[in-house]
Amino acid sequence: LWIRSRELTNVMKIKADLLKYIREWFNENNFYEVTPPTITPNACEGGTTLFEFNYFDKKAYLSQSAQLYLEALIYSLERVWSLTPSFRAEKSKTRRHLAEYWHLEAEEAWVGNEENMRIQEELISHICQELAKNNRDELEFFKRKTETLKNIEPPFERIKYENAVEILKNKDFDFNYGMDFGTKEESALCSDIEKPIFITNFPKTVKPFYMKEADEKTYLCADLLAPEGYGEIIGGSERETDYKKLVERMKSQNMNLKDYEWYLDLRKYGSVQHSGFGLGVERIVRWVCKLEHIRDATPFPRTINRVYP
């Protein structure tokens, strides 16, 4: 009966149109849609949050991210994007985590971190403007004012990680430089704002190996937080192009270099400045529809407690 409810019906209408607006924007901005695999031989970000299975007597994994494959394709297509399911084996019991979710990812050649953020804010603005213009009835059901979405226009504020730490301390959080933001911290940073904000220049200790250095301590990266306390909806960065630096980082994280030979070859045989980002579709739907839990953004959610039906 839940899948016949007015709430889920309106969620699905908004989600379907949101994906349509995303495709429109990428088509209008000279991106090529590509189709990366969801069965992979290794992790994109390392770690233990992978679903492992036997693949013809070899170990394989359900994809966490298509990023590495998209990076390979920029050398021929320059600007690419994909929409695939991604899988995370994190045992997270939060209102914003799914074990399987739809993952929009993009990579752009000849683009630095600042331009990468500009692309993201233009995409989000386009989605919001089109929803406000074409989905008034569905938005009204969720008490989402169209004027609020119309006001989501670039530029979005940029706040450095170190300044975000001070904001949290002023809000009485026990939080120090070098720690990663959790749900509560992200919510506190974006609870009283009307437009998304970028948190930039995270320390290397909390971000993956493939990001470009800003300085000795930080990366050229940014997380985009949705307003009203909904937290991160996009993570992006400029990518490291230095072969030696990548190898050093991977070794320091005990990653098996043999699994990533093909990825490292992209640098060994000539690379270009490039950047990219990943967007959680259900997270944007949750924000737009003012949903309490992300499981309500999909008809058949997959969580640590749910695999049926």
Band of pLDDT at residue 1, cut at 50, 70 and 90: confident
Q: Which residues pair with 235 in a beta bridge?
A: 223, 278
The predicted-structure confidence for 256-306, as pLDDT tens digits, reads as follows 999 899 999 999 989 999 999 999 999 999 999 999 999 999 999 999 999
The predicted-structure confidence for 121-144, as pLDDT tens digits, reads as follows 999 999 999 999 999 999 999 999
Q: Cβ atoms within 10 A of the Cβ of 199, count?
A: 26
The predicted-structure confidence for 215-253, as pLDDT tens digits, reads as follows 999 999 999 999 999 999 999 999 999 999 999 999 999
- CA count, 13 A, side-chain hemisphere, 74: 25
Whether pLDDT at 106 is above 90: yes
- pLDDT, mean of residues 1-19: 95
Band of pLDDT at residue 68, cut at 50, 70 and 90: very high
Q: Which among 195, 184, 210, 1 has a CA at the least distance from the CA of 107?
A: 210
Backbone Cα Rg of the chain? 19
| Average pLDDT over all residues of the chain | 96
Taking a C-beta distance cutoff of 8 angstroms, is the pair 233, 224 a contact?
Answer: yes
Question: Locate tokens 């043999």: which residue?
Answer: 258
Q: Cβ atoms within 10 A of the Cβ of 71, count?
A: 21
Whether pLDDT at 46 is above 90: no
The reported pTM is: 0.97
Band of pLDDT at residue 53, cut at 50, 70 and 90: very high
In CATH terms, the superfamily for domain 2-297 is Bira Bifunctional Protein; Domain 2 (3.30.930.10)
The predicted-structure confidence for 162-210, as pLDDT tens digits, reads as follows 999 999 999 999 999 999 999 999 999 999 999 999 999 999 999 999 9
